[in-house]
Amino acid sequence: MSQHRDLRHLRPAVPDRPSLDGLETKWDQGWSAQGTYTFRLGTPRAEVFSIDTPPPTVSGSLHVGHVFSYTHTDIVARFQRMSGKEVFYPMGWDDNGLPTERRVQNYYGVRCEPSLPHDPDFVPPLEGGQPSAASQDSAASQGKAAKPAGPVPISRRNFVELCQRLSAEDEKQFEALWRHLGLSVDWTQTYQTIDRHARATSQLAFLRNLARGEAYQQLAPTLWDVTFRTAVAQAELVDRDQPGAYHRIGFARVDQTADAAKPADAAKPDPAASPDAAGRVYIETTRPELLPACVALVAHPDDQRYQELFGTRVRVPLFGTEVPVVAHPLAEPDKGSGIAMVCTFGDVTDVIWWRELHLPTRAILGWDGRVLPEAPMGVDSPAGRSAYAQIAGLTVFSARKRVVELLRDSGELVGEPQPITHPVKFFEKGEKPLEIIPTRQWYLANGGTDQALRRRLLARGDELTWYPDFMRVRYQNWVEGLNSDWLISRQRFFGVPFPVWYPVDQFGHPVHDRPIVPAEDQLPVDPASDTPSGYRPDQRGKPGGFIGDPDVMDTWATSSLTPQIATHWRDDQALHESTFPMDLRPQAQDIIRTWLFSTVVRAELEQRSLPFYNAAISGFILDPDRKKMSKSKGNVVTPMGLLEQHGSDAVRYWAASARLGTDAAFEPGQMKVGRRLAIKILNASKFVLSFLAAGAEGAGPLALDPARVTDPLDRSMLATLATVVATATEALEAYDHTRALEVTETFFWTFCDDYIELVKARAHGEAGPEGAACAQTALGLALAVLLRLFAPFQPFATEEVWSWWHHQGQSIHRQPWPTPGELVPDQAAAGDAGVLAVAGGVLSALRKAKSEAKVSMRAELASATVAVPAELTAAAVAAKADIMAAGRTAELVLAASGTETIDLLSATLSPSQ
RNA sequence: GGGCCCAUAGCUCAGUUGGUCAGAGCGCCACGUUUACACCGUGGAUGUCGGGGGUUCAAGUCCCUCUGGGCCCACCA
């Protein structure tokens, strides 16, 4: 060590032409090497700030919206770190679930066929979606996959291997982007939602839920996506407007008594009335193909038209089923004919009627969305069975067409179908309307059925601090609107399996109500390949043996545990206790109902606490048409391309200019401004450091003494900056990064345009050594503070400058956050904050004189008279020498005026001009 | 049907509890070879603060209403 006492030769020189180029790579490597952002294990909870980073879905590509919102979080992280907190800032990758499966199918040209055996030498037919895919852009390659021979069926294990292989590739690219953007993530704290630790955590939480009765199985009507052949949860529903048609169909009354029937039968059908004189009822339906699944007709109990019919039976056209006419308040008298057909199941209302009116089940759709081969109970007549045979095996679409033809032939269709557009429920990732199919599924209590739990969850929503606060309402609305528990099982492949087996009875059937669970220390398990204790592998599927639960968990069932996963609730008690509940959950507004809510549910059930104290909700990015920028549309700009084009600090500046919860326009103009700011920081710093190199050799940025600053203008500048520090700090503490940036930036431009110009001559020594030392110290103090104020926003430019200055190699991002006291140690002797403003105003007046005379700013003025508000003249006089030097004015008269503005009264150019 | 957010200069946006609040930046115009910076600097112009009511001594700022955007929720046969 001692042989390097003179470190000057190691000191990075201030470059002649500072540049932003290459700073991202340089400092990413520097920070990695120094472990600048590595979390120090063992820090007490009170000194930690922990962040529940959203794990991005690696199967998609990152877009500008991600860059936007992750920057917001990084600003918080950097501010907290500099404020003395040890920041726990992990990064997860959401590689679990359907999006990855779908991407793998397209990328490699395969599909999962669970019945196939594993092929250890399998080579996928495609790579990147096409054998010759030129584009690296995953979004572009999606959607036009594997035309040639169709996807190749492969085993579940092969499929999962491909999922993991592709995810790993994506994760590398994502990490590269985040590093380039300058996220101060601790890259030693990463996880994947499909990795061993996340699976074990998911399974452990589930087993605890099961033991406490919060998780349960139920055979029930389930919202079902026929394309993906899986159940979906309420939170994953979206309504989409679809074309459809009302079909008016007549139901004849079943003869009950001979005397009542006779005259009625004589009456002619009258489709205009319902019921008509013969007691025929006309319903309108958009789903005629569900006629064989009809179990009742329902009308409002107060509907006078149907009073006579309640309790009677009618016959379903074509299929001959006899169904009752029943009353229920959900039926709407003014909708259609006021009477509806109840099917098992056409929509969610059918489920309510079915449940509350104790109607029978007549399911006709299978998991693939096709009409089941066997007619349901009740379709017993030869004619009915014959009609059914004509639609068995058809898709819903084809069956509808066929039924309409049959109805038309039989004369039971009244008029022609009336086309309409109506909202239909879809799985948010699906392409076909959802069906409702009775299946056995796992549910988790979420307050949908348990009112006491719902109240607790609402209380947690109140307890949580929201930025901005109005986002709380979205949570409340969602929780208040829940009408069922959370369906967490999915009939998919790439996910966390349920850690459950079932005994197989003597007839070969699984006994679902006696699940076999593993011990907690065995997790994670895969019941499809692992054998429960007490059984032998060869007993799988055999009578008297066991069988694994075939399903995997909903991806939200894992990502709802990100706080528990990231803080290692399961396997590192010390880390968990020093980071949980976490301080911050940053996320997008559209997943409050899913991710945020489900995370609150899991922590409430497991820890009886909030999972995090603060939620910061970022808005969307809007494209120039004011529409949400989505992958399908706005993705012509890739995030990495943006960062390379403008520079990361510039893009961060744009992101930082938008407040939390507010949608922001994609605006390259703002990025150019941000780039200009970063360059300005480099250049202004170069100027300031040119004095300190000579005058304060060896002194670091924090070694300057404000007590040495005596000049009124200098003191005024420092006092003004002190208020900026106070304001920026307060704003950042309140998650208002926009305001912090704004006040800092505004001051910085004044600092550059006015202060630096005013003191330039003096700093060069033109007013003597004392004045020079004073100005130089003030410049240095201001720069040391400004750099730190900018550091969370512009981590690269500020770090670069810091390295020129502070040659011990300490990162600016571990420096203490600036305080007003560094600039104004003694409040009583604080400078007059007005001097800088007035001096700047007078200087502007002199510049205006030159601008109007169309001469260079360097031109000399022989004399000038400037009117200054009387109460400010003293302040102006205090800076008069600096003003004259900066304005190159030989004779300056400061005239006290009664006005409130600073005005140029007269100016005379020097004769030599 | 219910709820939330938004509407301020050509563009993107600030305007905290009603009283220098009519602002900033970009863009635009003019000028300037200025040793921190031409990825620059200096100066300048720009608005019935969506419409209409109301409260008040005073309203972008509070209340009502209308219009136009965006988003979320809902049991739309």
Give chain A's mean pLDDT: 88
Nearby residues of A781 by Cβ (< 8 Å), 6 or more positions away: A704, A706, A709, A718, A822, A823
Helical (H) or strand (E) element with A575: helix A573-579
Is the pLDDT at A225 greater than 60? The verdict is: yes
* CB A800 within 8 Å of CB A685: no
More confident residue, A367 or A47: A47
Res. A321: pLDDT tops 50: yes
Q: What digits encode the pLDDT tens for the residues A523-552?
A: 999 898 889 999 999 999 999 999 999 888
CA angle A363, A369, A374 (to 5 degrees): 45
pLDDT over 60 at A166, yes or no: yes
Residues 6+ apart with CB under 8 A from A319: A291, A292, A294, A375, A379, A381, A384, A387, A388
Residue A649 banded pLDDT, cuts 50, 70, 90: very high
More confident residue, A141 or A809: A809
Nearest to A821 by CA among A693, A681, A702: A702
User: CA of A739 vs C1' of B25, distance in Å?
Assistant: 14
| Protein-proximal positions, strand B, CB < 7 A | 2-6, 11-15, 20, 24-27, 30-34, 36-37, 39-44, 69-77
What is the spatial distance between Cα A637 and Cα A627, in angstroms, rounded to a whole number?
A: 16
- Confirm whether any atom of chain B, the nucleic acid strand, is less than 7 Å from CB of A484: no
**Selection from A339, A263, A260 nearest residue A294 by Cα:** A339
Residue A259: pLDDT band with limits 50, 70, 90? very low
- The secondary structure of residue A871, as a DSSP letter, is G
Q: By CB neighbour count within 10 A (0-12 exposed, 13-18 middle, 19+ buried), where does A623 fall?
A: middle
Whole-angstrom distance, CA of residue A48 vs CA of residue A541: 50
Q: Is the CB of A646 under 7 A from strand B?
A: no
Q: What's the mean pLDDT in A22-43?
A: 95
The answer to whether the Cα torsion of A117, A121, A124, A128 is positive or negative is positive
Residue nearest to nucleotide B37 (CA to C1'): A683
% of chain A beyond a pLDDT of 90: 58
**Residue–nucleotide distance: A860 CA to B32 C1' (Å):** 14
Residue A187 has pLDDT above 70, yes or no: yes
A219 touches strand B (CB under 7 A): no
**pLDDT band at residue A62 under the 50/70/90 scheme:** confident
**Does the CB of A232 sit below 7 A from strand B?**
no
The nucleotide minimizing the C1' distance to residue A592's CA is B72
Structure confidence at residue A262 (pLDDT) = 46
Residues 726-765, chain A: which have Cβ under 7 A from strand B?
A: 739, 742, 746, 749, 752-753, 756-757, 760
Mean pLDDT over A409-420 rounds to: 89
Task: Kindly determine whether the C-beta of residue A287 is less than 7 Å away from any atom of nucleic acid strand B.
Answer: yes
Cα A33 → chain centroid: 30
- Scanning every strand, the nucleotide with its C1' closest to A659's CA turns out to be B13
Distance B17 C1' – A474 CA (angstroms): 26
Helix axes A648-656, A668-695, angle to 10 degrees: 120
CA distance A805 to A15: 12
Measure the CA–CA gap between A462 and A125, rounded to whole angstroms: 53
Whether the per-residue pLDDT at A868 is higher than 50: the answer is yes
> Binning pLDDT at 50, 70 and 90, where does residue A142 land?
very low
Residue range A460-469: mean pLDDT, rounded:
92
The pLDDT of residue A105 is 87
pLDDT over 60 (residue A872): yes
What was the pLDDT predicted at A155?
Answer: 82
What confidence score (pLDDT) does residue A528 get? 83
**Does any strand B atom come closer than 7 Å to the Cβ of A331?**
yes
A623 touches strand B (CB under 7 A): no
State which residues between 146 and 205 of chain A bring their CB within 7 Å of strand B. none
pLDDT of residue A515: 95
Residues 16-55, chain A, CB closer than 7 Å to nucleic strand B: 19-21
Percent of chain A scoring above 70 in pLDDT? 92
- pLDDT given at position A131: 67
How many angstroms separate the CA of A619 from the C1' of B16? 21
Q: What b/e sequence results for A558-573 when a residue is b if at least 16 CB atoms lie within 10 Å of its CB, and e otherwise? A: bbbbbbbbbbbbbeee
The confidence score (pLDDT) of residue A895 equals: 92
Q: Which residue is nearest to nucleotide B20 (CA to C1')?
A: A900
In angstroms, the CA A615 to CA A285 distance is 45
Q: Nearest nucleotide, C1' to the C-alpha of A672?
A: B39
How many whole angstroms separate alpha carbon A862 and alpha carbon A419?
Answer: 86
Strand B–CB A856 distance below 7 A: yes
Weakest-pLDDT range from A40-44, A335-339, A408-412, A775-779: A335-339
Convert the pLDDT of each residue in A549-580 to its tens digit: 988 898 899 999 999 999 999 999 999 999 99
- The answer to whether strand B lies under 7 Å from the CB of residue A243 is no
| pLDDT tens digits, one per residue of A763-809 | 999 989 999 999 999 999 999 999 999 999 999 999 999 998 876 67
Write down which residues 401-430 in A have CB closer than 7 A to strand B. Answer: 422-424
Q: Is the CB of A239 under 7 A from strand B?
A: yes
CB A541 within 8 A of CB A504: yes
Cα A537 to Cα A547: distance, rounded to the nearest angstrom: 10
Residue A592 in contact with residue A617, Cβ under 8 Å? yes
Is a pLDDT exceeding 70 seen at residue A263?
Answer: no
For residue A625, what pLDDT is reported?
A: 60
Task: Judge residue A423's burial from the number of C-beta atoms within 10 Å of its C-beta, 0-12 exposed, 13-18 middle, 19 or more buried.
Answer: exposed
Task: Please state, as a whole number, how many other Cβ atoms lie within 10 Å of the Cβ of residue A903.
Answer: 15
Peptide bond into A468 cis (omega under 30): yes
For residues A477-488, average pLDDT: 88
Q: CA of A462 and C1' of B25: distance in angstroms?
A: 38
Residue A277: per-residue pLDDT: 79
A73 CA vs B17 C1’ separation (Å): 29
Helix (H) or strand (E) holding A615: strand A612-618
Question: Residues A685, A797: contact at Cβ < 8 Å?
Answer: no
> Straight-line distance from CA A867 to C1' B39, in Å?
37
Q: Is the dihedral of CA A727, A728, A729, A730 positive or negative?
A: positive
Residue A734's pLDDT band, with cuts at 50, 70 and 90, is very high
| Residue A379 scores a pLDDT above 80 | yes
Q: What is the pLDDT of residues A654-710, one digit of tens each?
A: 999 999 998 888 888 899 999 999 999 999 999 999 888 644 445 677 788 899 899
* A276 CA – B5 C1', rounded, Å: 50
Question: Residue A217 forms beta bridges with which residues?
Answer: A442
Q: Is the CB of A474 under 7 A from strand B?
A: yes
* Structure ipTM: 0.94
With cut-offs at 50, 70 and 90, classify the pLDDT of residue A39: very high
Average pLDDT, integer, range A216-244? 84
Decide: A696 and A761 in contact? Cβ < 8 Å: no
Nearest to A587 by CA among A68, A90, A1: A68
> Is strand B within 7 Å of residue A507 (CB)?
no
Does the pLDDT of residue A814 top 70, yes or no? yes
Six token digits for residue A157: 């294990």
- Tell me, what DSSP letter sits at residue A446? S
Q: What is the dihedral of CA A726, A731, A737, A743, to 10 degrees?
A: -50
Task: Quickly give A59 CA vs B26 C1' distance in Å.
Answer: 37
> Is any atom of strand B within 7 angstroms of residue A238's beta carbon?
yes
Phi/psi at A415 (nearest 5 deg)? 65, -160
What tokens appear for A824 in the block? 């104004």
**Per-residue flag: A286 CB under 7 A of strand B:** yes
| A663 conformational bin, left if phi > 0, alpha if psi -120 to 50, beta if neither | beta
pLDDT at A272: 77
CA contacts within 13 A on the Cβ side of A204: 19
The residue among A358, A299, A363 whose CA lies nearest residue A332 is: A299
Q: Which residue has the tokens 């996963």?
A: A565
Give residue for tokens 């895919």.
A133
The CA–C1' separation of A626 and B7, in angstroms, is: 13
How many angstroms separate the CA of A481 from the C1' of B74? 8
Peptide bond between residue A345 and the one before it cis (omega within 30 degrees of 0): yes
Q: Average of pLDDT values for A3-9?
A: 40
Q: Which residue is nearest to nucleotide B32 (CA to C1')?
A: A856
The region of weakest confidence among A222-236, A823-837, A890-904 is A823-837
At residue A336 the predicted structure's pLDDT band, cuts being 50, 70 and 90, is: confident
Name the nearest CA neighbour of A441 among A592, A288, A197, A233.
Answer: A233
Mind listing the pLDDT tens digit for each residue in A75-87?
999 999 999 999 9
Nucleotide nearest to A420 (CA to C1'): B76
Q: Answer whether the bond into residue A524 is a cis peptide, omega within 30°.
A: yes
The residues with which A867 forms a beta bridge, in sequence order, are A895, A903
Through-space separation of residue A671 CA and nucleotide B34 C1' in angstroms: 27
**What local confidence, expressed as pLDDT, does residue A332 receive?**
84
Residues 6+ apart with CB under 8 A from A752: A680, A684
Cβ–Cβ under 8 Å, residues A441 and A500: no
- Is the CB atom of residue A11 positioned under 7 angstroms from any atom of strand B? no
- Rounded average pLDDT over A213-228: 89
- CB contact at 8 A, A864 and A893: yes
Q: Mean per-residue pLDDT for A303-328?
A: 91
Distance A469 CA to B61 C1' (A): 20
Question: How confident is the model over A300-313, as a mean pLDDT?
Answer: 89
Distance A470 CA to B53 C1' (A): 28
Classified as helix, coil or strand, A635 is: coil
A713-CA/B36-C1' distance, Å: 20
CA angle A465, A470, A471 (to 5 degrees): 70
pLDDT score of A265 more than 60: no
